[in-house]
Structure 1
Amino acid sequence: MYRAIPRTLAGQAVAWLLMLVAVIVVAGSVLAAIDARVDGDRAARGEVTAIAVSLADSPSTSRALMSSDPAATLQPVTEQVRKATDIAFITIMGTDGTRYTHTNPGLIGQKYIGSTAEALRGEVHTETYTGTLGPSVRTVAPVRAPDGRIVGLVAAGITQQSLTAAWRAQLPLIAAIALAALVTAGLGLWLIRRRLLRQTGGLAPSELRLMYEHHDAVLHAVREGLVVTERGQPALVNDEARRLLGAGHNGEIELPTFLVTGDEPLVDVLYAEQGRTLVVSRSPVPTDATAAVVTIRDRTELADAMGELDSMTRFAEALRSQLHESANRLHTVVAMIETGRSAEAALMATTEMQLSQRLIDRMTETVAEPALAALLLGKSAQAAERGISLMLTEDSQFGDDAIELLTVGEMITVVGNLIDNALDACDPADPWVEVTVVGDPARLEVVVADSGPGMDPGEFDRAQARGYSTKAGGDALGRGLGLALVAQVVDRHHGTLRAENTYASVVTVLLSAPERSGRADVADADAAIEGDGDR
């Protein structure tokens, strides 16, 4: 269906531009035609003036006028000049206006029709006047004798009809130039329309405005980070992405390395960034190989909860395993009593109880925090079930006040994940794990060593930065979060996390209280002492 006004932005833009170009071309053509006419009139005036003045200044003209028969001498000369210059007429007359020459010989001897007063006063006068040949542009110049007297007049003219014909002869050229300009502009605008249609998808201005407003509202309202990158630079970042990446609302943002490196698609990959656990997906833009759309979801609280839940789940599994073993031992003791071997049954029961109590006493004496002690007991039972030797070193000492540097949940996250990683990584031929926990109000150190091969520095950095796992399945199985969660807690408290391969694979976490806190505590203590002295 034909539309008077195009629907698409490209069509409307080209239509307006075409109208503007048409107006400019038509206006230019009209001005060119007017200019051609003005130039023709100006040129005609100059030509007739030059002819009239030249003939008037010629000595032969004044001699002929003072002779007895001026017409016989002047008529052939003026006709020759008129035909050579292609003007309408050349009339030489006496001071009384009697013609001696004319284009029409029948008018010789009659009075000149036109203004002669100015020429008789010695002036060269140009005017537009209607004479015997019709309207014409004419110039009248005085002819002077050698003594300076005016002895006659010379009039040269071009008819308006001739001027109009000459002006109209230029109109086809002007029209051809205008048509060529319109065709060229139309072709260029058609190419522009095609490009605009591709770039705007053939949408109308109202549709583009509505799309922009809706997209802008969605970008600000959606609770998922969205980043559009182009050649490694952010082309679009919504409010949630700025919040998750730690940028201001309108400030410049520097994208993390994992968002701008690589061009392969990502689906729900875990990263740890600025104390957050982020789930990142990246999809390349089909029409632009250098651009990609990245979505970011915050899973920090969920990851923390899952880490603690995993530790508690393993602890519960260890307790169930202990319960199962205790039931087996209890059945054995009962059977031995029923068979009359009471002494051996008592020895077996007390021995197991003593070993368990000794382990519990060792843990509670070394670790004053009940939740941490329970975690270590659970991990010991879990390791024993898997045939792994887990030892708490004699250097370990964790007092009641050591928990000030970390919360109980953070302590379980750090120690539990480090032990879990060590249990998975130790050498099956010689499986052992060694744990050292040293803590006081000013310093906390957790060292976990295992008999495994360890990780090189690059692999250790990757394991901290994202959901990295050396086990089959990787992120798809939800693995690889342990060390990232530990790194997240350490970064939050400005601590140190390092790995080294010395006597074994050793991972160390070191946290220290801020120096200003120590100074504040000393200042508070001094103030308290001074206050006691005042009292």
Structure 2
Amino acid sequence: MSSTNTRRRRSVARQLLVGQLAVVVLLVTLGGALALVDARRDSDESIRREVVDIAVSIATAPSTVTALASADPTAALQPVTERVRIATGMDFIVVMSPDRTRFTHTTTELIGGQFTGTIDRALAGETFTETYRGSLGPSIRAVTPVLDDGRVVGLVSAGVTRQKISDQFVAGLPAVLGIIAAALGVALAASYLLNRRLSRQTLGLAPDELRSMYEHHDAVLHSIGEGLVVWGGDSEAELVNDEARRLLDLPEGPVTRERLPESLRGLGDTAVRDEMHLTATRVLVVTQDPVLHGSRRLGTVTVLRDHTELQRVMGELDSMTSFAESLRSQAHESANRLHTVITMVELGRTEQAVEFATQELELSQNLIDRLMSTVQEPAVAALLLGKVSQAAEQGVELTVTEDTALTDTESFDRRELVTLAGNLIDNAIDAAKQSDEPWVEVTVRESETDLVIQVADSGPGMDADALARARTRGFSTKSGSRGLGLALVTQVVERHHGTLTSETTYGSVVTASIPHE
């Protein structure tokens, strides 16, 4: 496999680690070299200050002037300068006359000889330092005058050889190199830890893989027809695509769980599959799954699918199906009655046959005629007729009140009317079956300002807390079941800024009121 392909597959973290190591090693090496050069310069500067101090101390001592004026300066000065040299670590201390004649020296054979080096500046009264190759080799030395009443009566030179300075510098190298090694170790450890953290965050992907993933990720997010919300470790979403903002009516900006519709806030990090949820305007199917990398949980992904229109169509279809089933049941019942009438005629009981036939027909036809004349919306009229038969099949007496009327059909959506009336009646029928003599009473009427759908039943009724629970997703008044009935009703009512109330008077009464738009 080519080195180009290998290099291409290196992760971002590994490439960064290699680059960091190269930079760290280079910087530490250069820093160490500069530190060594600086240490050597500091060492030389320290030696210069030290030799100046020692030379000046000896030159300004009164005993030095006295010794130089004596007949034998060497006898007076040599023991003193040697003690000072040994105590201070100097390699030599030379006391000389202005004509360079040495009175003292570390090597006694050189006493009486000529001092080699620069003395002109000292003869002029100046103290200076220089690096010079003398009798003991290259050295850093200081030369200073010995003054007596302003006259230069002698010179003092103190120095340390380069060899000794180098030995002292080398002796200090392990400490300097140890510091450099420690700094390099800390830098390498920090780079390694940073590499591990970055590797976890980038999932070990190479730069081209990350770029490709981002491009595909961005394209998919803008093209899919489902809402997508990605959650990390905190309560703020890491990603929300355009469809999710549309479905949840979210503005631009950060999205937290507190900004979600009430039924979605409680999902947390739990996994759910095709669960129905309602917002103020939509019916959503929600799927939520954890995002795992190995055994580590990175977060959760919430997928939202819009089933609003489908739910409305299904509600209308259910109503039509109920009506068809009611008609089928009535046809079957009519056949039974017809056979009964025919048999009574054959038995010669014609009067009783006519009375039996016209009694049921009159009741049924009166209801149909009344609803068709007062309820101008055919779907609502069919729904009410179907629910009467459906309730009868379940042993519940359903009555449509005499004041039921609906003439202004343009102000209201037909599907919403079916959703409102159908779900309220279904809930009432289920609740009424819990009583000994089940009954339901339905009223659909208009005022100048509102459309009112009122459903009463013989059931136990709902208090304020029960109604609040029933208006949320997944709650049903049916024992042991979960439904969307009252939640769908609430959605329609809130969409039109209406009201939904429950009270217990002559029975359990639920009233939905929607203002004219």
206, 210, 213: which one aligns with 2:208: 206
In structure 2, the CA distance between the partners of 1:407 and 1:154, relative to structure 1 (3 Å rule), is closer
1:442/1:512 contact within 8 Å kept: yes
What pairs with 1:58-77 in structure 2 (closer than 5 Å)?
58-77=61-80
Question: Structure 2 length as normaliser, TM-score?
Answer: 0.89
Residues paired across the two proteins, number: 507
* CA positional deviation for 1:248: 2.2
1:18 aligns with 2:21: yes
Confirm or deny that 1:261 pairs with 2:266.
yes
Aligned partner (choices 432, 440, 451) of residue 444 of structure 1: 451
- C-alpha displacement at 1:342, in angstroms? 4.3
Deviation at 1:449, TM superposition (A): 0.8
Distance of 1:55 and 1:34 partners within structure 2: 32
Aligned-partner Cα distance in 2 for 1:259–1:289: 21
Q: Write the distance in 1 (CA, Å) between the matches of 2:372 and 2:14.
A: 82
Name which of 109, 112, 115 aligns with 1:109: 112
Q: Which residue of 2 aligns with 1:469?
A: 476
Q: Residue 152 in 1 paired to residue 159 in 2?
A: no
1:423 aligns with 2:425: no
Counterpart in the other structure of 1:42: 45
| Residue matched to 1:83 | 86
Mapped partners of 1:320, 1:90: distance in 2: 132
1:433 Cα deviation from its structure 2 partner:
0.8
SS in 1 for 2:103: coil
Match of 1:97 in 2: 100
Cα deviation for residue 322 of structure 1 reads 1.4
Aligned residue number for residue 520 of structure 1: none
Partner AA of 2:241 in structure 1: N
Matches for 1:127-276 after TM superposition, within 5 Å: 127-145=130-148, 147-229=149-231, 230-250=233-253, 254-261=259-266, 263=268, 264-276=270-282
| Cα displacement string for residues 381-424 of structure 1 (whole angstroms, at most 9, x for unaligned residues) | 22233332111223x24242x32431233222222222122222
Write the distance in 1 (CA, Å) between the matches of 2:271 and 2:481.
Answer: 16
Query: Comparing 105-114 with 116-125, which one deviates more in the overlay?
Result: 105-114
**Selected match of 1:412 from 413, 418, 424:** 418
Conserved 8 A contact 1:228-1:292? yes
1:327 aligns to 2:330 (yes or no): no
Q: Within 1, Cα distance between the matches of 2:113 and 2:7?
A: 67
Aligned to 2:385: 377
Shift of 1:341: 4.5
When residues 379 and 81 of structure 1 are mapped into structure 2, their CA distance, relative to the original with a 3 A threshold, is closer
Letter of the structure 2 residue corresponding to residue 350 of structure 1: T
**2:356 partner letter:** M
- Hey, what's the Cα distance between the residues in 2 that align with 1:411 and 1:260? 29
> What SS is found at the alignment partner of 2:31?
helix
Q: Matched residue of 2:409: which SS?
A: helix
Classify the secondary structure of the residue corresponding to 1:169. Answer: helix
The Cα of 1:496 is off from its aligned counterpart by: 0.9
Structure 1 residues 4 and 139, CA gap change in structure 2 (3 angstroms)? farther
Could you tell me which amino acid in structure 2 is paired with residue 37 of structure 1?
R
Per-residue CA deviation, residues 423-459 of structure 1 (Å, 9 max, x unaligned), is 2221352121111111145321111111112234333
Mapped to 2, the partners of 1:257 and 1:235 lie a distance apart of 20
Name the CA distance, whole Å, in 2 between partners of 1:193 and 1:245.
39
Q: Please name the residue that 2:464 is paired with.
A: 457
Provide the secondary structure at the position in 1 that maps to 2:303.
strand
Aligned partners of 2:449 and 2:477: how far apart in 1?
35
Match of 1:525 in 2: none
With normalisation by structure 1, the TM-score equals: 0.86
Q: What is the CA–CA distance in structure 2 between the aligned matches of 1:6 and 1:178, rounded to whole Å?
A: 34
- Structure 2 distance, partners of 1:53, 1:231, is 74
* Alpha-carbon distance in structure 1 between the residues aligned to 2:375 and 2:147: 137
CA–CA distance in structure 1, aligned partners of residues 478 and 450 of structure 2: 34
Higher mean C-alpha displacement, 97-106 vs 502-511: 97-106
> In the superposition, relative to structure 1, how do residues 430 and 250 fare at CA in structure 2: closer, same or farther (>3 Å)?
same
Amino acid at match of 2:391: A
Cα 1:91–1:285 change in 2 (3 A) is same
Determine the C-alpha separation between the residues in 2 that align with 1:334 and 1:247: 67
Query: 2:318 pairs with 305, 310, 324, which one?
Result: 310
CA distances 1:22-41 after superposition (whole Å, capped 9, x unpaired) = 23332332222122211221
> 1:259·1:294 contact (CA, 8 Å) conserved in 2?
no
- Give the CA deviation at 1:50: 1.7
- Contact 2:8–2:208 (Cα < 8 Å) also in 1: no
In the alignment, residue 320 of structure 1 is paired with which amino acid? R
Say whether the 8 Å CA contact 1:304–1:485 is kept in structure 2: no
Give the Cα–Cα distance (whole angstroms) in 2 for the partners of residues 89 and 5 of structure 1.
66
Deviates more, 1:263-272 or 1:408-417: 263-272
* One of 348, 351, 359 as aligned partner of 1:351: 359
SS at match of 1:494: coil
Change (3 A) 1:453 1:64: same
2:492 to 471, 489, 493: 489
Give CA deviations for 1:473-520 in whole Å, capped at 9, x if unaligned: 745xxxx23322222221221111112222211111112235xxxxxx
Query: In the TM superposition, what whole-angstrom CA distance separates every residue of 1:123-171 from its partner, at most 9, and x where no partner exists?
Result: 21221122222221122212223x3322222222222222122122211
2: distance between equivalents of 1:338 and 1:38?
138
SS in structure 2 of the partner of residue 405 of structure 1: coil
One-letter amino acid of the structure 2 residue matched with residue 393 of structure 1: T
The whole-number CA distance in structure 1 between the counterparts of 2:8 and 2:157 is 61
**CA distance in 2 between partners of 1:75 and 1:104 (Å):** 11
* Structure 2 residues without counterparts, runs of 5 or longer: none
Distance 1:142 1:231, change over 3 A: closer
Distance in 1 between the 2:429 and 2:505 partners?
18
User: Could you tell me which amino acid in structure 2 is paired with residue 223 of structure 1?
Assistant: G
**Contact persistence 1:232–1:261 (CA under 8 A):** no
**Alignment-derived partner of residue 54 in structure 2:** 51
SS of the residue 1:403 aligns to? coil
Q: d(CA) in 2 for partners of 1:40 and 1:130?
A: 19
CA distance in 2, matches of 1:5, 1:336: 96
Identity of paired residues, percent? 52
Greater mean deviation of Cα atoms: 57-66 or 306-315: 57-66
In 2, the alpha carbon distance for the partners of 1:237 and 1:217 equals 14
Give the conservation status (yes or no) of the 8 Å contact 1:303–1:485: no
Cα distance in 1 for residues equivalent to 2:159 and 2:368: 133
